[in-house]
Structure 1
């Protein structure tokens, strides 16, 4: 393989890997003593192409300090069980499929 092709593939791989990272400003963590999944519903469930089983759940990707979670079926009160890594930030849910749960700067 020519060196130009290898260099191009390396650059594309580097961009792909850095795009998946989570900044400290966006990172969340679980509050002590809580879990993301509902034990009564079988714990954490992964999203399917059809979405989630229960009507009060959404397909969400959580931005943890160690990286993004896979798409999970979570209730929309998920921010009540999370706290931001960075002081002064607040948890928010962004629309999409999957949606994103991460921290943002609060509006004044």
Structure 2
């Protein structure tokens, strides 16, 4: 499972940030590891320099083996909260997708 982390020009993307979120993804999605080829994480600050509530965005694009990509988005006041919300949505979506696949 390859993990790629992208940030917009308003978010400083450094190695520590990438390591932290990569580790969290690997732990959080460990049970799906053999069913996922790649995960792309997109972080953004929708208002840039201006302050606003829930202006941080995290988009997870998950590419399961032999299936269409699954995309989830979460907005929050911090990157960590946006990431955790998106990760939670991704787990639910993957669980549902793979359970439906088992049923057929």
- Which structure has the greater CA radius of gyration? 1
Q: What TM-score, normalized to structure 2?
A: 0.28
TM-score (norm 1): 0.27
- Greater RCO structure (CA 8 Å; 6+ sep): 1
